[in-house]
């Protein structure tokens, strides 16, 4: 089970990966279009192959990261996040450095104008889209802008200094705008997760008996209907046992309701430890009465489970101010292979009738019910 912080990290990682997905191809496509349009591959082959190799390496790393994260939901969150951030920042640093070199080298005069348009667009778009990460929102535009701002300052002419000043202002604007989107994203994610947790808690509270922490009657009724329909489709047995504590009113009268409540908690825990399958449903049916729903369980298996509960409860010793108190239970059970046209309450009635037969037979025993339609 992930902690709250890990859930936030995982959510952000998947969102960041999804948002960064378009960038996997963007750098490669734009660079190849520019290179072939301006014949960089012919006139400057070394420059072309060096940058193409770097972009291709980043492309492979990003693609592999995307595939691995998509296929392996249990991947290490911190490692995968660091991997993604580093490759994105590497792409920004490379593009910023390449732009600076094009501005510096007189052999690329025809590329300067278009690079001065594309690079700020990349910086602004990437920083805003990927502002989920505080590292990316600040370092991405910085790595894009600073190299060629430095070159513009180095060149020192009026036009270069003006471009450097305007670019610096743009960088400050990107910082402020991405901070707002970063804060909005994390506020929305946090509020969403809090709302989900509260909804889950409310759902749990609405279906849980507060005293015993077993499921309550409302939950059992829904689960019973669902399992009846499922077993009807699959034509598999569905069993039910009703458990009632013997002479429980005497315990409340003689030892008080506080001790009586403790007895109910102990019995509930005991039944839960015996009925171990995740598909089974244990619920407090009312007062000192419990019900266990057993999908895909035949008559013989139901009987064995019920007898085990009878014996285990009878062997419990409850301490009340150093006075040892014993308690027993009576159990009735019934099994059926449900049909859609049969009444669901027939199984409940059969188990309930069998439970009263167990009480009439001296209590502390199990009786099997017969269904009538």
Its sign, for the CA torsion 185, 191, 193, 195, is negative
Question: What distance in Å separates the CA atoms of residue 149 and residue 156, rounded to the nearest whole number?
Answer: 11
Using CB atoms within 10 A of its CB, is residue 34 exposed (0-12), middle (13-18) or buried (19+)?
A: middle
| Distance set, CA 286 to CA 110, 214, 264, 293 (Å) | 85, 11, 11, 15
Question: What distance in Å separates the CA atoms of residue 343 and residue 334, rounded to the nearest whole number?
Answer: 14
Active-site residue, 289 included: no
| Distance set, CA 53 to CA 45, 49, 280, 288, 350 (Å) | 12, 6, 59, 74, 76
DSSP for residue 168 = H
Helix (H, G, I), strand (E, B) or coil at 256: coil
Single out the catalytic residue among 288, 322, 339, 357: 288
Question: What distance in Å separates the CA atoms of residue 368 and residue 336, rounded to the nearest whole number?
Answer: 12
Residues assigned a catalytic role: 288
């Amino acid at each position: 089970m992930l902690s709250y912080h890990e859930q936030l990290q995982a959510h952000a990682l998947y969102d960041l990966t999804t948002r960064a997905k378009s960038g996997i191809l963007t750098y490669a496509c734009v660079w190849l279009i520019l290179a072939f349009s301006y014949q960089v591959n012919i006139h400057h082959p070394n420059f072309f192959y060096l940058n193409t190799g770097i972009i291709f390496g980043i492309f492979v790393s990003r693609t592999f990261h995307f595939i691995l994260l998509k296929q392996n939901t249990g991947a290490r969150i911190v490692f995968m996040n660091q991997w993604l951030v580093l490759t994105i920042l590497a792409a920004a640093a490379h593009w910023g450095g390449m732009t600076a070199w094009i501005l510096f080298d007189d052999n690329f005069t025809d590329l300067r104008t278009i690079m001065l348009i594309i690079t700020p667009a990349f910086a602004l778009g990437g920083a805003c889209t990927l502002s989920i990460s505080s590292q990316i929102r600040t370092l991405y535009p910085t790595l894009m802008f600073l190299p060629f701002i430095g070159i513009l300052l180095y060149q020192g002419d009026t036009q270069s200094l003006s471009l450097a000043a305007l670019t610096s202002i743009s960088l400050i604007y990107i910082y402020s705008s991405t901070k707002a989107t970063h804060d909005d994203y994390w506020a929305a994610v946090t509020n969403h997760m809090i709302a989900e947790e509260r909804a889950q808690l409310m759902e749990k509270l609405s279906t849980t008996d507060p005293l015993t922490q077993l499921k309550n009657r409302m939950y059992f009724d829904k689960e019973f209907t669902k399992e009846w329909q499922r077993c009807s489709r699959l034509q598999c047995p569905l069993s039910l046992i009703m458990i009632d504590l013997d002479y429980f009113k005497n315990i409340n009268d003689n030892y008080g309701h506080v001790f009586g409540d403790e007895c109910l908690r102990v019995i509930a825990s005991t039944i839960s430890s015996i009925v171990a399958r995740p598909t089974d449903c244990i619920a407090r049916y009312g007062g000192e009465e419990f019900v266990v729903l057993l999908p895909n369980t035949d008559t013989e298996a139901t009987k064995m489970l019920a007898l085990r509960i009878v014996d285990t409860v009878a062997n419990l010793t409850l301490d009340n101010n150093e006075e040892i108190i014993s308690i027993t239970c009576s159990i009735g059970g019934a099994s059926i292979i449900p049909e859609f046209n049969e009444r669901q309450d027939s199984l409940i009635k059969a188990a309930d009738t069998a439970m009263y037969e167990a009480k009439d037979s001296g209590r502390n025993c199990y009786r099997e019910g017969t269904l009538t339609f």
